[in-house]
Amino acid sequence: MPLGKKYGGRKKGTPNKYTASVKAAFKEAFDLMQENPGVNLFEWAQANPTDFYRLCSKLIPTTTEHTGAEGKPIEIKPVTNFDSMPISDLEAIDAIITRSNKLE
């Protein structure tokens, strides 16, 4: 890597315009497909779980898309003591598990 001051190019953290436009185009296509009653993403996902999870992994936001307090990276800490968790967090976890069980 060359030494010295950097000139030109994107600054660190600046989103790629091409990537943003492709994501927007895919979202628009998805929204239009959902208006068609013959399209069922859930059935396709059940029939093609590997492809579904591969696509879903691409939708997970990166640290440059979301930040925590004061612009710092979001910290993910494993929970070892559920007794100390706020009730609202426990209710949110319960809702996710309940929704997941209904899909099975």
Q: Is residue 45 part of a domain?
A: yes
With respect to residue 75, please indicate whether it lies within any of the assigned structural domains: no
Looking at residue 80, its pLDDT comes to: 80
- Per the domain annotation, does 12 fall within a domain? no
* Segments of the chain with pLDDT less than 50: none
pLDDT at 1: 53
Contacts of 33 (CB under 8 A, 6+ apart): 39, 41
44, 52 contact by CB (below 8 A): yes
> What is the torsion angle, in degrees rounded to the nearest 10, for the CA atoms of residue 61, residue 66, residue 72 and residue 73?
-20
Amino acid, res. 85: M
Examine residue 2 and state whether it is found in any structural domain, yes or no.
no
d(CA 37, CA 33): 8
pTM of the model: 0.36
The tally of domains found in the chain comes to 1
